Amino acid sequence: MNATPREKYVARLSELEALHHELAAGKRPGDGAVVVGLLLEAAGDVLRRKSALGTSVATVMKQLSAISEDGLRSWGEGVQVDELAARLKRAASQAVEAAIPDSPEAGEAMAQWAVQDLQARDRLESALVALEAMARADARTLLTRLRAAAGTVDKTCRATVVSLTALNPSRRAETALLDTEFRGAAWWFSERTGIDDDQLVQVLGGEVKGSMPSEFKSANSEVTRRRGRKVSFDDLLRFDLGLSNTAEREAIRIQADADPELKLALAAMEAAETAITEETQHEVVSTRVPEPPPVERNPPQVIDERSDFKVLVFRTRKSVQVVVQPHRLDRFATAAVFRTDEPDRPFPASPGDMGLHFELGAPERLAGVLARVVVKLVDGQTHAFEVRL
């Protein structure tokens, strides 16, 4: 399900139109600021990559016309630019850990987390470019304020680019898609991305022999400092639901060795799994070979569709299945489904052809039962829905 950088931005073209219609139709009263922010980010992503995507400024400006003055002001009041400084510094720390990891799996996880933090700064840059393109007085005023705040963050964090060289393959792929006039400003992607810089962190850390510029020798103590990304609630939820990939699971287990509280949490999860196994071990297991699932399914019921994801319910004579279908993989974090008759037990998810699939049971056992679907995005937003099964 991992999309390439170009595929991610190609998807922005269709997303732009969907966000435009959602904002113009007022589908989510009181939540206009969220859609305005998503529309500005998507528009800026396209404007900064016009050549690679083969599109024009006029196409994007048509979609931006749906943003009202009140919606833009509401979004601007909620933007927390200062938080980006912490994310950029964390990305630098994670990049070093990715270059000299305890294990290849842990290094892969750290690299993924670091790139996610860099993309947060890039999304703000796209929003600022979209504001500039709007050429409205209210947009210019907001642009001036946010650009000044972003400049302060960049001045504080730009020196960390030495550490970000450990992410150069991903950074080069992003830089190649940017139009030439925007590459210099996007230092988090474009600065020190030459092949000669790729092993700079390993050289500083003594992992690889090589020469380094004298101005970087004093950074050796910082590079060799032990560091790690604190495991969040969302990380543990993904781990418990079985949604973590191999690298993420390995990184969590490594950190648990040095974190008693995290080790206790993992032990509690394991104890719960053991209790469930013991509770069900005496159930009669049929030796009859199960019939293959039917090829044809009834048309799904669309529970909700947002710019980032869609929630569907499939019903057959033998099963009821909830499917959470991400539209934007870079914004989708995880999802969980609970039944009201078992409110404390999340149902396991399995990747499928449409997204995350949750098998909830046979229809005859679900009469009068509701399902609660919880979807989390990478920016911390949580959406919950109730579905009558």
CATH code for the domain of 360: 2.60.40
Mapping DSSP to helix (H, G, I), strand (E, B) and coil, where does residue 346 land?
Answer: strand
Q: What is the DSSP letter of 351?
A: E
pLDDT band at residue 40 under the 50/70/90 scheme:
very high
- Answer yes or no: is 292 within a domain: no
- Answer yes or no: is 41 within a domain: yes
Q: Is the pLDDT of residue 160 over 80?
A: yes
259 and 330 inside one domain? no
The residue that leads in pLDDT, 244 or 317, is: 317
* Contact indicator for 113, 124 with CB cutoff of 8 Å: no
* Contact indicator for 129, 141 with CB cutoff of 8 Å: no
- Answer yes or no: is 291 within a domain: no
129 and 202 inside one domain? yes
332 and 271 inside one domain? no
270 and 203 inside one domain? no
24 and 115 inside one domain? yes
What is the side-by-side strand order in the sheet with 301-305?
301-305, 309-315, 320-326, 356-361, 349-351
Q: What pLDDT is attached to residue 220?
A: 47
The residue that leads in pLDDT, 174 or 212, is: 174
Task: Tell me if the pTM is above 0.75.
Answer: no
Q: Is the pLDDT of residue 228 over 80?
A: no
218 and 249 inside one domain? no
Domain around 365: 301-388
* Contact indicator for 51, 97 with CB cutoff of 8 Å: no
- Answer yes or no: is 123 within a domain: yes
127 and 33 inside one domain? yes
- Answer yes or no: is 285 within a domain: no
Measured CA to CA, the distance from residue 16 to residue 38 in angstroms comes to 9
- Answer yes or no: is 228 within a domain: no
70 and 216 inside one domain? yes
Q: What pLDDT is attached to residue 296?
A: 45
The four Cα atoms 71, 76, 79, 81 give a dihedral, to 10 degrees, of: 160
What average pLDDT does the structure give for the chain?
A: 81
- Answer yes or no: is 295 within a domain: no
Q: How many domains, the chain?
A: 3
**Per-residue pLDDT tens over the stretch 245-257:** 776 777 787 788 7
Q: Which residue, of 223, 242, 268, is where some domain finishes?
A: 223
268 and 134 inside one domain? no
pLDDT band at residue 282 under the 50/70/90 scheme:
low
**Per-residue pLDDT tens over the stretch 305-363:** 888 888 999 888 888 999 998 887 778 888 889 888 887 788 888 887 788 899 998 88
Q: What pLDDT is attached to residue 229?
A: 59
195 and 176 inside one domain? yes
Strand partners, 314: 321
CB atoms within 10 A of CB 66: 18
